[in-house]
Amino acid sequence: MRWLRDHLVLILGILILLYTFVPIFVVVLMSFNDPSSKLIYRFDGFTLHNWLNPCEPEGMCHALGTSIQISLLATIGSTILGTLMAFALVRHDFLGRSSMNLLIFLPMATPEIVMGSSLLALFVAAGFAGQLGFWTILIAHVMFCLSFVVVTVRARLAGMDDNLEQAAMDLYATPRQTFWRITFPLVFPGILGAALLSFSLSFDDFIVTNLNAGNTTTFPMYVWGVAQRGIPMQVNVIGTLMFMVSVLIVVGSEVNSRRRTAKLATR
Amino acid sequence: MSSSADVAQERRAPARASFDGLRLENLTKSFGAFTAVDDLDLDVPRGSFFALLGPSGCGKTTTLRMVAGLETPTSGGITLAGQDITYAKPYKRPVNTVFQNYALFPHLDIYENVAFGLKRRKAGNVDAQVKEMLSLVELDSQTRKRPAQLSGGQQQRVALARALINKPEVLLLDEPLGALDLKLRRNMQIELKRIQTEVGLTFIHVTHDQEEAMTMADTVAVMNAGVIEQMGAPEELYENPRTTFVANFLGQSNLIEGTIKGRSGDLVTVDMHGIDVSVPAARSHADGDKGWIGIRPEKVLIGDPGEQLDAPGNSVPGGVVSDVSFVGVSTQYLVRMPWGQELQVFAQNTGHRRIYRSGEQVDLSWRPDYAFLLDASQDARAGAQEGTD
Amino acid sequence: MASTAGTAPVTTAPASDDSSRRRGLTGYVLLVPGVVWLALFFVIPFYSLVATSLYDPGGSVFSGYEMSYQFSNYWHAIQDYWEPLLRSLWYAGLATLICLVLGYVLAYAIAFKAGRWKNLMLVLVIAPFFTSFLVRTLSWKLILADGGLIVNSLQAVHLLGPDGRLLATPFAVICGIVYNFLPFMVLPLFASIDKIDHRLIEASSDLYANPFVGFWKVTWPLSLPGVVSGTLLTFIPAAGDYINAQLLGSPNQRMVGNVIQNLFTQANDYPAAGALSMILMILIVAMVLFYVRRAGTEELL
């Protein structure tokens, strides 16, 4: 009884955590589903068919490819622009600092539907209504990922000891050498984190994309479309793969840092 | 600014050639309305172990950063071995720094940290030099560890090695021992001193710890509010302070108000609350007719009323012991004098004298040669708090 | 460290302020690309949205719109769509509250009770959310489906009538929103709670506060910054979301996002859609400002 009282919060926490995994179990389970009918979404039997023929549903892999392309480009674009901005914010003095902070904060605080519809309003007003597609999606994704990159990289930069750069300069490193040998390697984990965040934000976006996509179909749009008709089980294969890849990345970095701390402990 | 700097440069050109150490001239640094370093002149001879001592905020770190090139002076100049380096970039001056928190590069291992400066200057024979330097600081077995895996003392030695390996004209140490515990600090003080003698470089050591400054340096400059209060060998500063700040910041001092009655030959006679005391003229730094008579607590002798204490000279009767603390090697008294002031007296526990108790009547006495006289215009409490923390 | 903390700023504060932030052109050069992007594709679109919301509703995407400063668009939008608008705020508010309770327990457990499993638990909070939002929401559809395990068991214990269902009810929609936005609540909460010095809580119990009083007087106020940013990060996207309402609800659970999206993509009624977006934005900004002021944490913005 006493044990229960001491561990109540932890047990509740673990239960909530389990709750967040319920849909993942379902996704994994359904990726092995052998559906009896396209219209009824329930587990009917085990099969490897979906895993062996992931691209069977018409258009799915094409949509997936589009999504990956857009996400990669949006990640590159937003990471570069955002990192530059973060450096300016932390390291440089300029007029209008507070309005700059507002400009970076607002996109994160605006509901996607408002952001998406205002972009659409612009594209239509500018006469691009017929050209909505890959590039308009990319523009939108870079826009809403940008703030997240700035915030992530800025935090890393601000947490960096600026004595390190001074020490490098003191040890005969020119500003360029200081940047590439000290500053950049130290900020890099932040940039990498920002890039991963951008990729997942961009890859997963539906609301903004849907409004500005024209005839282009991304993976979330494909899922949205088939959700009304009947879901091919391969969608769950992709969902499972996404989960596995991200867990691998996260666990990999965790193991890496554990190993480092273990080394520390045994010095 | 440039025109006045040019004029100043021309003016001091001849003097510069003759001095091969580090010279700061009229050096000033302001941050907005706040003047951190105020018209500072300082010569640091080549090969000396020089300490810049002062409380936090006195401008010593700013001075150091200007020498390192990490801060640009508002005005004034810095020359090193005759070369003007006032505006030289930090990576172009033969000066290296051991930073307060060491500033070791966390993503590089110890070897790479130490080799960093050599590699930037494309020096040859890096490997041998790094190994030699690491054995000098006794870290040869740790070369492939990251800074985070080392203890504080080891990190400190890496920081030292990383700077020393470049054989700079001047090595700047910014409170390098501040993060270490007391015992380690003592060891490192001795170690630093040994290394300095071994390599023979000019060391400038910034610290707020007066004991550290006095143990290590051959010259100490006491800095306060952006200016140098006094500079000299540690014993000289301690025995013959010129300002109340130095008297209080370096150790402790009793400062007693007095009126100067006359100066004859090498003695100054002062009326101290009705008692005539004398101070050597060489130790008198008061211009007006009022002054602070200064005496270190360990120089004051304590005895029974009317007792002939062995020091001939200034005898002050009528004290009452108001507090006694026994600290082992000595007993520290507070003695209330007839004029209301409490004086500090440290008596060595040699066993020859008895220990007085609170409330006992005592006489005090000190030799005139130990006293000093300071100008009355100064605050008698200047530097007192800072010195004791 | 602690001993220098009080005195260090005297010397270093003016120094670092001056030297670590360089003046000059470089700062502007670094800012320009990002700022131009945000200006072109965030600020200006916002003006187009305002303009669109004031167009003459008589036009169409194909024939073009006349700018006639039709403020009546707003009035009509509220008249026609007040129901989904209110429902959005209501669902989002309720979901935020549930998220706050669940998220607080979880964040508290991770920060104070997880010990060496802290990092692992933190990773586990985020991990499920790397799978597609839509795929996850669809699996809720399966979980809550008629004849599914949950509905059947609830019917068995008579918590749900024989014809009762979970799917296509407000319950399903709110459940989906709670699920999808939970990490937005947990992460800021964790950041705040993790910073609280455990000794403060011990001190409060030392000073005769029972665990509940101790929580209300110490832990809760100190975690308030996390509570505020967590609730904002949850409420704002939840109010604009329509995926959960669409996939898990029925037309009776239509939220304002559904309406805006339909007006834009199906009905092509841009002025009404623009006006509705603006109304949503204005409502959210007003509520956020009011809330932040009440919570006394303006510095968060």
Distance (Å) of CA A215 to CA A66, A129, B1: 12, 11, 65
Kindly write down the DSSP assignment for every residue of chain A, as one continuous string.
Answer: -HHHHHHHHHHHHHHHHHHHHHHHHHHHHHTTB--S-SS--S---B-SHHHH-TT-STTHHHHHHHHHHHHHHHHHHHHHHHHHHHHHHHHB--S-HHHHHHHHHHHHHS-HHHHHHHHHHHHHHTT-GGG-SHHHHHHHHHHHHHHHHHHHHHHHHHTS-THHHHHHHHTT--HHHHIIIIIHHHHHHHHHHHHHHHHHHHHH--HHHHHH-TT---HHHHHHHHHHH---THHHHHHHHHHHHHHHHHHHHHHHHHHHHHHHHT-
Within a domain: A89: yes
Within a domain: A256: no
The number of residues in chain B equals: 389
CATH number at residue B67: 3.40.50.300
**Cβ-based contacts of A190 with chain B (< 8 Å):** none
Interface of A to B at Cβ within 8 Å reads 161, 163-164, 166-174, 177, 181-182, 185-186, 263-264, 267
The domain segmentation of chain C, as residue ranges, is 81-300
Contact A162 C20 (CB under 8 A): yes
Domain that holds residue A162: 61-234
C164 part of contact set with chain A, CB < 8 Å:
no
- B211 and B252 in a single domain? The answer is no
**Cβ-based contacts of B70 with chain C (< 8 Å):** 19
User: Measured between alpha carbons, how far is B361 from B348 in angstroms, rounded to an integer?
Assistant: 19
Contact B105 A170 (CB under 8 A): no
Q: How many CB pairs under 8 A join B and C?
A: 29
Residue C206's pLDDT is 76
Cα distance from A142 to chain C (closest Cα, Å)? 8
Distance (Å) of CA C116 to CA C69, C190, C219: 61, 15, 21
Domain that holds residue B317: 244-388
Within a domain: A121: yes
Cα distance from B29 to chain A (closest Cα, Å)? 19
- B128 and B230 in a single domain? The answer is yes
**Which other chains touch chain A, taking contact as 3+ CB pairs less than 8 Å apart?**
B, C
Q: From B239, B259, B286, give the residue that closes a domain.
A: B239
Residue C212's pLDDT is 79
Give the confidence band of B298 by pLDDT, cuts at 50, 70, 90. Answer: very high
- B306 and B217 in a single domain? The answer is no
Domain C81-300 CATH superfamily: MetI-like (1.10.3720.10)
CATH number at residue A126: 1.10.3720.10
Whether pLDDT at B376 is above 90 = no
- B175 and B222 in a single domain? The answer is yes
Specify the number of domains making up chain A. 1
Within a domain: A156: yes
- B233 and B249 in a single domain? The answer is no
Contact B56 C7 (CB under 8 A): yes
- Residue by residue, pLDDT tens for chain A (267 residues) are 677 777 888 899 999 999 889 889 988 988 898 877 766 667 778 888 889 888 888 888 999 999 999 999 999 999 999 999 999 998 888 888 888 888 898 888 888 999 998 999 899 888 887 888 899 999 999 999 999 999 999 988 988 888 899 999 999 999 999 999 999 999 998 899 899 889 989 999 999 999 999 889 999 999 998 888 888 888 989 999 988 988 888 777 767 766 665 655 454
Specify the number of domains making up chain B. 2
Which residue among B68, B99, B117 sits closest to A172, beta carbon to beta carbon?
Answer: B117
- B197 and B336 in a single domain? The answer is no
Contact B166 A163 (CB under 8 A): no
Of the CA atoms within 13 Å of residue A3, those in its CB half-sphere come to 0
User: Measured between alpha carbons, how far is B376 from B288 in angstroms, rounded to an integer?
Assistant: 8
CATH number at residue B325: 2.40.50.140
Interval B107-125 mean pLDDT? 91
The residue of chain B nearest to residue A161, with distances taken between CA atoms, is B103
> Comparing C-alpha atoms, which of A5, A134, A116, A165 is closest to residue A63?
A134
C18 part of contact set with chain B, CB < 8 Å:
yes
Whether pLDDT at B141 is above 70 = yes
ipTM above 0.95, yes or no: no
